[in-house]
């Protein structure tokens, strides 16, 4: 509420012509701006990403086809640790998930349990991946391949969703969510020193919504987490769409985004957008799938997702 108030004050001041001269919208340096008065503008893909694209040869036009081998669709798992196995196929053009140890970046797969923020899975054919402390109940798992800068591949076959159920899994409902990606085994009874350490993480408690995978579905992907230095401006919004074509792509749907509860804006073509002008601090990004009149399109509540990110300058 306080930040809304500040926006109104800023608008009022500029309407009266008494605003400082450095608040025009083309000024993206925001030297004197408070978080409340940020003005976001859609900008071109940043040069650093264009350079990365160019250095990757044909990979950007790959058509990766991802399959969820495990958990099997509609299976029941009697454990709170859910092992994930993927297979990658299709026209890869050199695309391969792998984290480069030097840069700590690389191609990876976004893995989404229910409607939680995604986890990154890098070594999909080298190391197992597990979701830990998964609560009893019905769940969905969504996966899709991503580039080092977290832009998803959007060809058909790239996205997969399965439903599964955890029964008597014994997850600790009181366990607090961990915020880092704890790459070591969470249990202490492991004596398998020779096994590769699984990638994975303790999950927050959640269950699936009443999601129908055959109906229009918006999957929130980015932004997520903390943004620093060159990555903090511009910041990419990216998402996956299933069974829904946007207005600008010949369909009727729209994706609505709202930052910090401000003015709603629309994305009418399925592609990432880059927003510049972020002030340091926490921000909330809401992505919604709506029909051509702006009405909500519900699918188990997944089509309206809010995430908090932190911008560090
Ligand atoms: Cu990513």
Question: Which contiguous run of DSSP H or E holds residue 8?
Answer: helix 2-15
Q: How far apart are CA 313 and CA 311, in angstroms?
A: 6
**Alpha carbon 8 to chain centroid, angstroms:** 31
The size of the chain, in residues, is 313
Average pLDDT over residues 23-40: 52
Q: How far apart are CA 276 and CA 176, in angstroms?
A: 34
Other Cβ atoms less than 10 A from the Cβ of 174: the count is: 6
Per-residue pLDDT at 116 exceeds 60: yes
- Give the Å distance between the CA of 122 and the centre of ligand 1: 9
Q: What is the pLDDT of residue 31?
A: 42
Please state, rounded to an integer, the average pLDDT across all residues of the chain: 86
- Give the Å distance between the CA of 265 and the centre of ligand 1: 24
Looking at mean pLDDT, say which of 11-20, 22-31, 211-220 comes out highest: 211-220
- Give the Å distance between the CA of 140 and the centre of ligand 1: 19
Q: Which tokens belong to 298?
A: 């519900």
Q: How far is CA 303 from CA 46, 166, 266, 271, 288, in A?
A: 28, 24, 14, 17, 5
Mean pLDDT lowest among 1-10, 237-246, 298-307 = 1-10
Q: What is the pLDDT of residue 36?
A: 54
Three-class HEC string of 179-206: CCCCCCCCCCCCCCCCCCCCEEEECCCC
Sequential DSSP letters for 146-184: E-TT-PBP-STTS-EEEEEEE-S----TTPPPPSS---S
Average pLDDT over residues 194-205: 80
Residue 142, strand partner residues: 112, 161
For 293-302, the pLDDT digits (tens) are 999 999 999 9
Provide the 3-class DSSP secondary structure of residue 227. strand
Q: For residue 280, with 0-12 CB atoms within 10 Å meaning exposed, 13-18 middle and 19 or more buried, which class applies?
A: middle
Average pLDDT over residues 29-33: 41
Q: What is the largest CA-CA distance in the chain?
A: 71
Q: Do residues 77 and 167 make contact, with C-beta atoms less than 8 angstroms apart?
A: yes
- Give the Å distance between the CA of 24 and the centre of ligand 1: 33
Q: Do residues 262 and 285 make contact, with C-beta atoms less than 8 angstroms apart?
A: no
- Give the Å distance between the CA of 19 and the centre of ligand 1: 40
Q: What is the pLDDT of residue 194?
A: 55
Q: What is the pLDDT of residue 183?
A: 39
- Give the Å distance between the CA of 118 and the centre of ligand 1: 8
- Give the Å distance between the CA of 20 and the centre of ligand 1: 39
Q: How far apart are CA 291 and CA 246, in angstroms?
A: 9
For 41-97, the pLDDT digits (tens) are 999 999 999 999 999 999 999 999 999 999 999 999 999 999 999 999 999 999 999
């Amino acid at each position: 509420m306080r930040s809304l108030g500040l926006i109104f004050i800023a608008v009022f001041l500029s309407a009266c012509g008494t605003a400082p001269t450095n608040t025009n919208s083309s000024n993206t340096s925001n030297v004197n701006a408070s978080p409340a008065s940020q003005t976001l503008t859609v900008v071109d893909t940043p040069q650093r990403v264009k350079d990365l694209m160019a250095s990757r040869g044909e990979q950007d036009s790959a058509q990766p086809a991802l399959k969820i081998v495990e958990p099997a669709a509609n299976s029941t798992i009697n454990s709170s640790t859910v092992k994930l196995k993927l297979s990658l196929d299709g026209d890869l053009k050199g695309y391969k998930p792998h984290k480069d140890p030097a840069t700590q970046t690389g191609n990876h797969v976004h893995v989404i349990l229910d409607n939680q923020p995604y986890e990154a899975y890098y070594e999909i054919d080298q190391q197992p991946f597990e979701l830990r402390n998964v609560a009893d109940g019905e769940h969905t798992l969504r996966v899709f391949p991503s580039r080092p800068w977290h832009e998803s591949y959007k060809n058909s076959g790239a996205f997969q969703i399965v439903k599964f159920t955890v029964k008597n899994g014994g997850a600790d409902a009181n366990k607090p969510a961990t915020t880092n990606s704890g790459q070591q085994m969470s249990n202490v009874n492991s004596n398998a020193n020779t096994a590769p350490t699984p990638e994975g993480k303790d999950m927050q408690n959640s269950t699936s919504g009443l999601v129908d995978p055959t109906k229009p579905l918006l999957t929130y992907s980015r932004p997520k987490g903390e943004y620093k230095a060159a990555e903090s401006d511009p910041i990419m919004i990216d998402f996956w769409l299933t069974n829904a074509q946007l207005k600008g792509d010949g369909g009727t749907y729209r994706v609505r985004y709202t930052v910090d509860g401000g003015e709603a804006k629309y994305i009418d073509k399925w592609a990432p957008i880059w927003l510049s002008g972020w002030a340091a601090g926490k921000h909330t990004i809401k992505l919604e799938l709506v029909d051509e009149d702006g009405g909500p399109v519900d699918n188990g509540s997944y089509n309206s997702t809010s995430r908090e990110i932190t911008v560090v300058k």
